[in-house]
Amino acid sequence: MNRPLRHVAVFCGVLMLALLLRANWVQFVQSETLANDENNLRVRIAQFAQPRGDIIVGGRPVTGSREVSGADFAYKRTFRQGAMYAPVTGYASQAQGMSLLEKTYDDVLSGRDDRFAFQRAGDIPTGETPRGGDVITTIDPKAQEAAYKGLTDLGARGAVVALDPRSGKVLALASAPSYDPSVFAGMTFKEGDRFKALDSDKGKPLANRALRETYPPGSTFKILTAAAALEHGVVSDINASSGAPSPYPLPLSRNTISSEAGDAVCDKASLKTAMQYSCNNVFLDAASKVGADKMRETAEKFGFNADVYSEDFGDMLATKSLYPDKLDRPGTALTGMGQGSLTSTPMQMAMVTAALANDGKLMQPYIVDELVGPDLSSIEEHEPRLKSRAVSEDTARKVREMMEFTAEKGSAQRALIDGITVGGKTGTAQRGVDVDKEVPYGWFVSYGEKADGASVAVAVFIDPTDMDISRADISGGRLGAPIARNVMKAALGV
């Protein structure tokens, strides 16, 4: 064999060896990954080959399955009150894939979970159509309805999260504007166009504002600033003068910051009075004295800067809420009033409120109580779990005293409920570079507690971009407090 032919033979041999190696790699190493890839059409067909199990709210299914003909897919997903529950269920679309609980628990809902293997084997000789298992959520249908109705009645973009402080159960998770997952559950071109229209809508109906969007929390963050100041000994007496002047000179700057309540009320006010009137100067000063490291440490104990894994929010993926690293003194001071480079999801602010309502103990939020098989047997139950000791019991008690005073005598009075202990805090958060042109966000956080100890913590976020409202009327107390009040009443059954 001459030299050129030998080179060609060696080259062809190398190509054959590479082909064999690649074939074996795909067959034995990547086979499971490829077989379960959501873009694999056979996976999609298997997901809709039989009726999916249901997502359950308050003992009733909010999902269903409808038989279809003339397609590769035997069944199509249906949703009841789809727009209200979409931030919980997510969507299950033959063309667009899945999200949220539909995706997280697809193996259970589609019946492919390994724990159903024995039952699947039993269905073969009987000829029965296999069915998936059910996902039983922690959502309270009355609280969810109050949350969603509150947002839609305002015509606002926004979100509401309600938690049981003692267990971490998510009682309500609403986002607006929302969407009905039923309208693009199939494979038709018309349904594809509907999804594209939703995806390009400027109101972002597909966005889960409760979990996946972050915003400056504004003055609602002052409850965490107060907790940090008390926990680290910067403040010991919540009724003593803070000594913080109003307007407040921002450290290392010629800028001064005032409060809407006025300098006469806020000048050298106590922490309790500052909470009542939302005095910026006192909280700017408190954060500056606590310092960046200890402020961040406290924020992280409440859940800030947590990685975006499902274990951090039970069953729901959530965007990280950020208390920034390496802040200078002005930046640290600004976080004290919930501004600067600080960002939070509504879920995160609900967690802060819930931890304070639970004597400083932050419970792991979760939204699924139980998974049941096709035969309704329980295959998995959730047990409440302590996430962290955010602050001491004494610190939590003092912050609650201030929040309850704010509800009784201050800016949170619209959240009061007869016969219920209520604590609250309003928030108005500036956004953008030109704050005079951008409309601010409205926030409200609160908790309600019955005499028997039953309690609920709520965070309401309002983006008034689409609302016909004057800038002067944008405030958390005016827009968010009535929603929080109705959600608390529904969750507590009063």
179-188, 254-263, 305-314 — most confident range: 179-188
Per-residue pLDDT averaged across 327-331, rounded? 94
**Integer CA distances (angstroms), 390 to 48, 360, 361, 468, 474, in order:** 44, 5, 6, 40, 31
Per-residue pLDDT averaged across 248-267, rounded? 90
Least confident of 179-188, 338-347, 475-484: 475-484
Residue 387 confidence (pLDDT) above 60: yes
Q: Look up residue 15 and give its two tokens.
A: 């190509």
> In this predicted structure, what is the pLDDT of residue 15?
81
- B/e letters for 170-186, b = 16+ CB within 10 Å, e = fewer, are bbbbbbbbbbbbbbbbb
Of 171 and 111, the one with more pLDDT: 171
What are the residue ranges of helices labelled H in 250-345? 263-266, 271-277, 280-290, 292-301, 329-335
Residue 106 confidence (pLDDT) above 60: yes
The DSSP annotation for 148-179 comes to: HHHHHHHT-EEEEEEE-TTT-BEEEEEEES--
> In this predicted structure, what is the pLDDT of residue 141?
98
> In this predicted structure, what is the pLDDT of residue 206?
96
Judge whether 219 and 425 are in contact, CB under 8 Å. Answer: yes
> In this predicted structure, what is the pLDDT of residue 74?
84
Give me the half-sphere count of Cα atoms (radius 13 Å) on the Cβ side of residue 68. Answer: 19
Residue 211 main-chain phi, psi, to 5 deg: -120, -35
**pLDDT band for position 334 (cuts 50, 70, 90):** very high
**pLDDT band for position 310 (cuts 50, 70, 90):** low
Per-residue pLDDT averaged across 322-334, rounded? 94
Closest by Cα among 423, 455, 355, 335 to 395:
355
**pLDDT band for position 127 (cuts 50, 70, 90):** low
> In this predicted structure, what is the pLDDT of residue 28?
62
Per-residue pLDDT averaged across 148-168, rounded? 96
Return the percentage of the chain with pLDDT > 70, whole number: 88
Give me the half-sphere count of Cα atoms (radius 13 Å) on the Cβ side of residue 96. Answer: 27
> In this predicted structure, what is the pLDDT of residue 260?
84
Catalytic member of 65, 175, 219, 446: 219
Residue 156 confidence (pLDDT) above 70: yes
Q: Is 65 helix (H, G, I), strand (E, B) or coil?
A: strand
Residue 436 confidence (pLDDT) above 70: no
d(CA 361, CA 302): 9
Burial of residue 257 (number of CB atoms within 10 Å: 0-12, 13-18, 19+):
middle
Residue 129 confidence (pLDDT) above 90: no
Concerning whether 219 is annotated as a catalytic residue, the answer is yes
**pLDDT band for position 10 (cuts 50, 70, 90):** confident
> In this predicted structure, what is the pLDDT of residue 16?
83
- Non-local CB neighbours of 283 within 8 Å, separated by 6+ positions: 219, 222, 225, 226, 274, 336, 337
d(CA 366, CA 334): 32
Judge whether 273 and 264 are in contact, CB under 8 Å. Answer: no
> In this predicted structure, what is the pLDDT of residue 19?
79
> In this predicted structure, what is the pLDDT of residue 162?
98
Tell me the CATH number of domain 218-371+383-492, given options 3.40.50.620, 3.40.50.740, 3.40.710.10, 3.30.470.10: 3.40.710.10
User: What global pTM score does this model have?
Assistant: 0.88
Of 43 and 226, the one with more pLDDT: 226
Judge whether 211 and 345 are in contact, CB under 8 Å. Answer: yes
> In this predicted structure, what is the pLDDT of residue 313?
59
Q: What is the mean pLDDT of the chain?
A: 89
> In this predicted structure, what is the pLDDT of residue 351?
97
- B/e letters for 453-472, b = 16+ CB within 10 Å, e = fewer, are ebbbbbbbbbbbeebebeee
Q: Which DSSP symbol is given to 52?
A: -
Q: Is 47 helix (H, G, I), strand (E, B) or coil?
A: helix
Per-residue pLDDT averaged across 398-418, rounded? 96
Residue 27 confidence (pLDDT) above 70: no
**pLDDT band for position 125 (cuts 50, 70, 90):** low
